[in-house]
A and B are shown apart, each in its own frame.
Chain A
Amino acid sequence: MNLLLLHQRPDIYFVVAAFLLATGIYGLVRRRTLIGMLIAGELIFSAASLNIMAVNRFFAPDPAVGQILVLFIMGLAAAEVAIALSIIIAVYRNYRSIHSTDMSELKG
């Protein structure tokens, strides 16, 4: 295995993507505020994008498809962050807190 051609091997990108996924899952489990969970979710999005890009670069017959797919993922992530932050702000107005343990009642 030639170390100098490391950036032309697909598996290193897969390992980095797996690492991003693992840290994202850890953050999603351990963070106790909504914004922290949102950040961890963005890490998982990044892992998925990197994985798709690596597969696209090395195995896809037409490398434009994966790039367009990742562009769509970025657009959806932006929309998701806008919605989630507005919900977080609305929750903060009602509860004066965005800790995930405090939001334990439903309006019935």
Chain B
Amino acid sequence: MKEIPFAPYILLAIFALAVGTTVAGALIAAFSTRIIRGVSGLMISCIGLAGLYYFLNSPFLALMEILIYVGAVCITIVFGVMLSEPDEPAQQEKRSHAALWGGGAILACLIVFVALSRLSLAGPWTLANAPADAGSVRAIGISLLTTYSLPFELISLVLLVAILGALVIARSGRTKE
């Protein structure tokens, strides 16, 4: 097979795109005032996260991330936005008060981010040598049906109960009126 010219640079560019998409989506999701933009930011962040999963040798989880998060979770949240009035209220608290709380929250999050980043950048990481074919879709399927068959069944039960519970809770409010 012929080597693609500048392959490492293209790879680096795609990786930077995935990281940038994740970070930008998270920023949109946390800082936008309109809630529907926040949902879109979550979608963008999840697409970038799928790219990162692909770089982490698990294309199956990248597909699942797009399918479940973008396709199911975000769409469900959009339905929730449609059925209620979620926009942030106009500035009720005093301006100085808001600035104080906002500054405090940003400061706390910066502390969390900087501390965790320093921890992960300072640590001497010794890499393990995993066999080349481990973590393939075949291996995942085999362990889901053998070692992890009980959690697999339990999670299907949890999803079933969650759907039934969601129907019951959303319906009981309607019959009361």
Number of B residues with CB within 8 Å of any CB on chain A: 90
Contact of A15 with B127 in the complex, beta carbons under 8 Å = no
- Smallest CB-CB separation from B129: which chain A residue? A61
Contact of A18 with B112 in the complex, beta carbons under 8 Å = yes
Partner of A89, one of B45, B68, B83: B83
Give Cα distance in the complex from A66 to B55, angstroms: 15
Contact with A along B115-134 (1 / 0, CB 8 A): 01101110101011010001
Partner of A18, one of B12, B60, B72, B120: B120
Contact of B130 with A62 in the complex, beta carbons under 8 Å = yes
Main SS at interface, chain A: helix
Partner of B130, one of A60, A70, A85: A60
Chain B residues near A11: list those with CB within 8 A. Answer: 120-121, 123, 125
Contact of A99 with B89 in the complex, beta carbons under 8 Å = yes
Contact with B along A56-67 (1 / 0, CB 8 A): 111111111101
Contact of B169 with A25 in the complex, beta carbons under 8 Å = no
- Smallest CB-CB separation from B144: which chain A residue? A68
| Nearest CB of B to A11, in Å | 5
Give Cα distance in the complex from A3 to B16, angstroms: 11
- Residues of A31-66 at the interface with B, using a CB-CB cut-off of 8 Å, are 31-36, 38-40, 42-43, 46, 49-50, 53-54, 56-65
- Residues of B75-129 at the interface with A, using a CB-CB cut-off of 8 Å, are 76-77, 79-81, 83-89, 92, 101-102, 105-106, 108-110, 112-113, 116-117, 119-121, 123, 125, 127-128
Contact of B55 with A67 in the complex, beta carbons under 8 Å = no
Decide if A94 is an interface residue (CB 8 Å cutoff): yes
Partner of B58, one of A14, A57, A82, A89: A57
| Nearest CB of A to B116, in Å | 4
Chain A residues near B117: list those with CB within 8 A. Answer: 14-15, 18-19
- Smallest CB-CB separation from B46: which chain A residue? A46
Contact of A23 with B80 in the complex, beta carbons under 8 Å = no
| Nearest CB of A to B80, in Å | 4
The chain A residues found within 8 Å of chain B, CB to CB, are: 3-4, 6-7, 9-27, 29-36, 38-40, 42-43, 46, 49-50, 53-54, 56-65, 67-68, 70-72, 74-83, 85-90, 92-94, 97-99, 101
Instruction: Please name 18 pairs of A and B residues whose Cβ atoms are closer than 8 Å in the assembled complex, sorted by A.
Output: A7-B11, A27-B38, A33-B35, A38-B77, A49-B49, A57-B58, A59-B128, A62-B135, A64-B140, A75-B158, A76-B158, A77-B68, A79-B159, A82-B76, A83-B162, A83-B169, A85-B76, A85-B79
Give 10 new A-B contacts, CB below 8 A, not counting A13-B56, A18-B117, A77-B69.
A10-B125, A11-B123, A15-B117, A18-B116, A24-B26, A53-B56, A64-B140, A67-B61, A71-B64, A88-B80
